[in-house]
């Protein structure tokens, strides 16, 4: 196991004393708080298409971001060179957010280690041979094509990231983490005499080679093929407001869009979220308890420490329908006095941290999925989704179903084409009328975008029934 502090010392000759002096430089114009974020990341991707290995890419990303906070103001600068003069220049640039120069000596830091160890892996994918990855991709291709002769094309890729970070703060913290991340993706195109349809599957997390067993690979391949084949028979999706049942797992993207973003502390501190000022009030039916949990082992959205050096945690966002709290980063927590939740995240050293989700999911209830389906006279049963989006100010959110069926008289009937579902964050969960006991987390494919920054996240949900939601079909 690599020690992040040692890593940066050995590879770049950056010593604790230099870090202490850099923090002093960052505060030299009167800033109240400063931090340094060192990053060294290796990213690999390998792609198969048309049954050949078409692409192999490797990128090395390294640099340092320096942030200085003064009241509500933040100064930020970064450099690509992990080298003392470049970092000092960035520290001086960021320091200028404050304008009352003071004499500041070095700021002493105490080396620490994360208490959590959520992603021990025997072998990280970044140090695994290309041959092993090629064999995995070829197995996907073979398995997916064997599902049905109408599977005409398979595109599959395996991407991994190995990130070493070190965070130093003017509060005296010096802490690092080593964060592996892997994701496999499979896309199949089915062709039935010119009727073309696609299906997508995949998964991963903060996992090593042991995760991608034959069984897992075959599951992704079969799933992507199955979806594409099902879509061949799909009829037009319905239009209008109706009862909707969402399947377990990835449909939890509903929570991410409907409530998750709206509960990020920055929007609430500024009063720009539709959820601002609603703590303690009912925002969901009493069947709903929603948490954000960064501490689940090996999940895509999990972290031992967030990108501000704080331990991640389990935050109850909604408890039995009542709004309990927000997702905090350091800035919002300092300005509002709220307790840190370990949700300060950033895409890279080139980006400023802000409150972000980790793994956001709804706890299981008491119904069974079968009961829920049986209870619906006419509605939509949606089990797979593409992306979603939200306007946090008016609360309107969408997420797009890619696999859905009609429910008629308590039975799942015809598959329907993809359709966008739209709702209003602060009241959509008040219409949840049943929650099943089959909580599942997604397979590890989610990426969340905010303010131009992408970070890996997880979602999860049991089967739920929503009394009414607008379905954007054509019929």
Partner 1 sequence: MNDRVSKEMLAGIVHSAIKRGATDAEAIAVESTEFSVEVRLGEVEKLQEAASRGIGLRVLHAGRQASASTSDLSREAIEELVSTAIEMARLTSVDDAANLPARDDLAKEVPELELSDPEIMALTTERRIEMARSCEDAARSFDVRITNSEGGACSTVISRIALVSSAGFEGDYQSTVCGLVAAPIASEGDRMQVGYWGDRQRLLKSLDAPDVIGREAARRAIRKLGGRKAATTEVPIVFESSAAEDLLGDFFEAVDGTSIFRRASFLVGQLGEQIAAPNLTIIDDGLMKSALGSRPFDGEGLASRRTVVVENGILKSYLLNTYTASKLGLRSTGNASRGLTGAPIVGPSNFFIVPGVYSPDEIIGSVKNGFYVTEMIGFGFNAVTGDYSRGASGWWIEDGKLSFPVEEVTIAGNLRDMLHGIELIGNDLRFRSRIAAPTIKVNRMMVSGN
Site residues for partner 1, window 80-109 (CB under 8 A)? 80-81, 90, 93, 96-97
Residue 315 found at the interface with partner 1 (CB under 8 A): no
CB within 8 Å of 328: residues ≥ 6 apart: 265, 338, 339, 340, 341, 343, 344, 355
For the bound state, the minimum distance from the C-beta of residue 72 to partner 1, rounded and expressed in Å, comes to 6
Cβ–Cβ under 8 Å, residues 220 and 140: yes
**Interacting residues with partner 1 between 3 and 32 (CB under 8 A):** none
Answer for which of 270, 339, 374, 411 binds partner 1 (CB under 8 A) is 270
Residue number with CB closer to partner 1 (80 or 127): 80
DSSP β-ladder status, 378-390 and 239-246: parallel
Site string for partner 1, 179-218 (x = CB under 8 A): ----------x-x----xxx--------------------
Cβ–Cβ under 8 Å, residues 109 and 19: yes
Alpha helix segments (H runs only) across 27-179? 84-95, 130-147
**C-alpha distances in Å from residue 430, one per residue of 256, 318, 335:** 16, 11, 31
Cβ–Cβ under 8 Å, residues 424 and 267: no
Answer for which of 5, 77, 140, 168 binds partner 1 (CB under 8 A) is 77
Burial 121-160 (b: 16+ CB within 10 A, else e): beebbbebeeeebeebbbbbbebbbebbebbebbbbbbbb
**Interacting residues with partner 1 between 346 and 365 (CB under 8 A):** 350, 352
Q: Which H/E stretch holds residue 49? A: strand 33-49
Choices 71-79, 141-149, 309-317, 454-462; region in contact with partner 1 by CB under 8 A: 71-79
For the bound state, the minimum distance from the C-beta of residue 99 to partner 1, rounded and expressed in Å, comes to 10
Residue 358, burial from CB neighbour count under 10 angstroms (0-12, 13-18, 19+): buried
Choices 219-227, 392-400, 406-414, 431-439; region in contact with partner 1 by CB under 8 A: 392-400
Choices 15-23, 152-160, 171-179, 314-322; region in contact with partner 1 by CB under 8 A: 152-160
For the bound state, the minimum distance from the C-beta of residue 43 to partner 1, rounded and expressed in Å, comes to 8
Site string for partner 1, 237-256 (x = CB under 8 A): x-xxx---------------
Answer for which of 386, 410, 450, 467 binds partner 1 (CB under 8 A) is 386
CB within 8 Å of 131: residues ≥ 6 apart: none
Residue number with CB closer to partner 1 (296 or 459): 459
Residue number with CB closer to partner 1 (67 or 299): 67
Answer for which of 15, 123, 272, 454 binds partner 1 (CB under 8 A) is 272
Angstrom distance (rounded) from CA 225 to CA 403 = 12
For the record, the structure tokens of 448 come out as 């969340």
């Amino acid at each position: 196991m690599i020690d992040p502090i040692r890593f940066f010392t050995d590879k770049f000759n950056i010593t604790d004393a230099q870090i202490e002096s850099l923090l002093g430089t960052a505060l030299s114009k009167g800033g109240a708080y400063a931090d340094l974020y060192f990053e060294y990341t290796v990213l690999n991707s390998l792609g198969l298409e048309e049954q050949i290995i078409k692409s192999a890419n490797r990128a090395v990303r390294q640099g340092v971001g320096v942030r200085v906070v003064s009241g509500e103001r933040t100064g930020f600068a970064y450099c690509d060179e992990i080298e003392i003069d470049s970092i000092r220049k960035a520290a001086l640039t960021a320091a200028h957010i404050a304008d009352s120069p003071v004499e500041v000596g070095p700021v002493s830091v105490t080396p620490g280690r994360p208490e959590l160890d959520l992603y021990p892996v025997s072998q990280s994918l970044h140090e695994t041979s290309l041959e092993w990855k090629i064999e995995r991709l070829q197995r996907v291709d073979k398995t997916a094509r064997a599902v049905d002769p109408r599977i005409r094309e398979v595109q599959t890729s395996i991407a991994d990231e190995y990130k070493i970070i070190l965070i130093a703060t003017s509060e005296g913290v010096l802490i690092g983490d080593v964060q592996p991340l892997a994701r496999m993706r499979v896309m199949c195109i089915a062709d039935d005499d010119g009727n073309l349809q696609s299906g997508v599957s995949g998964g991963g997390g903060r996992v090593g080679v042991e995760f991608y067993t034959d069984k897992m690979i075959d599951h992704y391949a079969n799933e992507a093929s199955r979806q594409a084949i099902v879509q061949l028979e799909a009829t037009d999706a319905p239009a209008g407001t109706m009862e909707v049942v969402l399947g377990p797992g990835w449909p939890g993207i509903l929570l991410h869009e409907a409530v998750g973003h709206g509960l990020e502390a920055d929007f609430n501190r500024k009063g720009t979220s539709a959820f601002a000022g609603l703590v303690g009030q009912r925002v969901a039916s009493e069947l709903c308890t929603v948490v954000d949990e960064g501490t689940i082992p090996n999940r895509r959205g999990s972290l031992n420490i967030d990108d501000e050096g704080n331990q991640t945690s389990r935050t109850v966002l909604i408890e039995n329908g009542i709004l309990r709290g927000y997702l905090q980063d350091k800035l919002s927590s300092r300005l509002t006095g709220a307790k840190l939740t370990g949700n300060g995240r950033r895409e890279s050293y080139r980006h400023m941290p802000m409150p972000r989700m980790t793994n956001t999911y709804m706890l299981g209830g008491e119904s069974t999925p079968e009961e829920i389906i049986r209870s619906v006279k006419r509605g939509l049963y949606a089990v797979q989704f593409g992306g979603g989006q939200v306007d946090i100010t008016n609360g309107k959110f969408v997420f797009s179903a890619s696999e859905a069926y009609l429910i008629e008289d308590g039975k799942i009937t015809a598959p329907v084409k993809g359709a966008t579902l739209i709702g209003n964050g602060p009241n959509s969960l008040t219409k949840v009328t049943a929650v099943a006991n089959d909580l599942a987390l997604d397979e590890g494919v989610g990426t969340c975008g905010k303010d131009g920054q992408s970070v890996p996240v997880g979602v999860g949900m049991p089967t739920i029934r929503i009394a009414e939601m607008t379905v954007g079909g054509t019929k």
